[in-house]
Amino acid sequence: MRSVPASTDSTSFQRFLGGIERVGNALPHPATLFVLLAALVILLSFILNAIGVQVIHPGTGQPVGVVNLLSVEGLHRIIVGALPNFVQFAPLGTVIVCLIGLAVAEYSGLIGAVLRVTVLATHPRLLTLVVVFCGTMSHTGSDVGYVLFIPLSAALFHAVGRHPLVGLAAAFAGVSGGFAANILLSTSDVLLSGISQEAARLIRPDYVVNPMSNYYFMAVSVVLIVGLGTWVTERIVEPRLGRYEGTLTAAPLAGLDAREKSGLRWAMAAGLALTVAILAGLLPQNGFLHDPKQPGFLQSYAIRGLVFFIFLYGLVTGLAYGIAAGTLRSDHDVIKGMTRSIQDIASYIVLVFFIAQFVSVFAWTNLAVVLAVEGAEFLRWLDLGPIPLMIAFVLLAAVIDLVLGSASAKWAVMAPIFVPMFMLLGYSPEMAQAAYRIGDSVVNIVTPLMSYFPLILTFMQRYQPAAGIGTLIATMLPYSLWFLIGWTLFLTLWILLGWPLGPGAPLFLPAEQPNGS
């Protein structure tokens, strides 16, 4: 069993993290916190509207003012919007649907069996590195990293005698802190490049930003994130957390018995059969999972319906394992497992109601647009060179990420402002997008306003019931700081070397190619 140093506050930085945890945990319950934040936003909307605060949106050229929600019309909007805000909050449906299917795999014992096989096959010294790397790769699977991989990593570390929250932190760092880094393309590459292209065409109507425009930079960034994530986990986070002294029992590490091996073989066969069926719908150009109106893999129903397929994989493989291993004896067992998964996230569902109201209230006021435009004007006023300007932009994106979590929604607001501004200064839209993605990624793991932050807190409380917002922030802050410093320096080096960010994606706009292609 791996020996882990005891928790210590012997260094200034560790004492600082302890202070962050104490202050954070002294905050009200997250649900109450979001109610207070929503009330503050409503009050600010009244004040800023009264003094006539407005900006000109560079995308439309139209004035955008702060909308007063402390009014009769605002009250009506809040009342009518409460239900749709909740039921249309995107992460809620994703989490529930995925967990219902994955609950069958967990309840049947499949996930436990896979954990044991993984532990026995992985060298202990490589476990942290493998977890951080797999976290960065999980982006291709949309939200599967948050819903499945993070709790799975906590259980994996628990199984080998290491603190489960160390595994949770390492996985969360890879999944969310290194969100932009990936060797494989994901839907976020398509979304962000599309937004960048529309913003660029405000200046050059035929400019093209392809989905691989940041591929070189982000693919190499995987090495940086995995290295930093592994170092922070083992040198800062694990010594601080020390040994796990909770009451939750780890999954046994004994080898699989005959029935479990049979169940695992049947689960693998079922998963393979399902994969073959999906490939049969994807590989032919006219396959049944392609959309004739939107050709291409990233627009296929396999990607657009990824939540359903996560549910299906959990259900099918869990059933196959449970029937073969004898852990599922009737449909009552299956439903019992599904029900238990909902019980486990009941507090998250309650919290989401209040989060959804805050997010909607903040969007209705137009405060995000005002903040982004004023931030752009501040950068323009600074009149910096390319490297200081990009560093300042990374920091600005990080600050805005504290209050506006969605990467695509935030870029939809910021891109029409910053991309044309940078283009007029000679910097490519691709470089602006790369800098934005760094700032957007590194703060995800420390802001309670990130959509999945409450879910991660729920996972943490399985092992440490007294954990609060401060506990999670203090645990993840070292990753956020080191990722911000390391990734920004890496971007600086990339700019100095003059390397393209991706295929056909220069750092600067060549004057001799006015079409930007």
Residues with Cβ within 8 Å of residue 361, at least 6 apart in sequence: 38, 41, 42, 69, 78
State how far the Cα of 44 lies from the Cα of 42, in Å rounded to an integer.
5
pLDDT, residue 115, reads: 64
Mean pLDDT along residues 481-487: 95
Among 131-145, 275-289, 403-417, name the one with the lowest average pLDDT: 403-417
**Which letter, b or e, does each residue of 242-251 get, where b requires 16 or more Cβ atoms within 10 Å of its Cβ?**
eebeeeeebb
Average pLDDT along the chain: 82
Tokens 């790397």 -> residue:
133
pLDDT, residue 515, reads: 39
Among 138-142, 241-245, 363-367, 469-473, name the one with the lowest average pLDDT: 138-142
Asked if pLDDT for residue 167 goes beyond 90, the answer is yes
pLDDT, residue 9, reads: 44
Domain boundaries, the chain: 25-497
State how far the Cα of 253 lies from the Cα of 235, in Å rounded to an integer.
26
Query: Which pair of tokens denotes residue 45?
Result: 């909307």
Query: Which pair of tokens denotes residue 260?
Result: 């479990």
User: Can you spell out the DSSP letters for 465-502?
Assistant: TT--HHHHHHHHHHHHHHHHHHHHHHHHHHHHHT--SB
pLDDT, residue 451, reads: 74
User: Can you spell out the DSSP letters for 381-392?
Assistant: HH---HHHHHHH
H or E segment to which residue 63 belongs: strand 63-65
Question: Binning pLDDT at 50, 70 and 90, where does residue 302 land?
Answer: confident
Query: Could you read off the pLDDT of 56-111 as tens digits, one per residue?
Result: 766 567 788 889 999 999 999 999 999 998 888 766 777 788 778 888 887 888 87
Label the pairing between strands 54-56 and 63-65.
antiparallel
Query: Could you read off the pLDDT of 349-383 as tens digits, one per residue?
Result: 887 788 788 878 887 888 867 776 776 677 677 77
Residues with Cβ within 8 Å of residue 278, at least 6 apart in sequence: 289, 302, 309
Is the pLDDT higher at 185 or at 198? 198
Among 138-152, 275-289, 323-337, name the one with the lowest average pLDDT: 138-152
Is the pLDDT higher at 229 or at 188? 229
Question: Binning pLDDT at 50, 70 and 90, where does residue 513 land?
Answer: very low
Query: Could you read off the pLDDT of 31-57 as tens digits, one per residue?
Result: 787 788 889 989 999 999 999 888 876
Asked if pLDDT for residue 484 goes beyond 60, the answer is yes
Query: Could you read off the pLDDT of 408-459 as tens digits, one per residue?
Result: 667 776 777 788 778 877 789 999 999 999 998 898 888 887 778 888 998 9
Biggest CA pair distance of the chain? 74
Asked if pLDDT for residue 142 goes beyond 70, the answer is no
Find out whether 483 and 178 touch, Cβ atoms under 8 Å: yes
Among 438, 432, 448, CA closest to 482:
438
Asked if pLDDT for residue 514 goes beyond 80, the answer is no
Residues with Cβ within 8 Å of residue 279, at least 6 apart in sequence: none
Query: Which pair of tokens denotes residue 212?
Result: 């691989």
Mean pLDDT along residues 475-479: 94
Asked if pLDDT for residue 173 goes beyond 90, the answer is yes
Among 176-190, 212-226, 384-398, 471-485, name the one with the lowest average pLDDT: 176-190
| Burial class of residue 86 (count of CB atoms within 10 Å of its CB; 0-12, 13-18, 19+) | middle
Query: Could you read off the pLDDT of 111-141 as tens digits, one per residue?
Result: 777 767 776 777 878 889 988 988 887 765 5
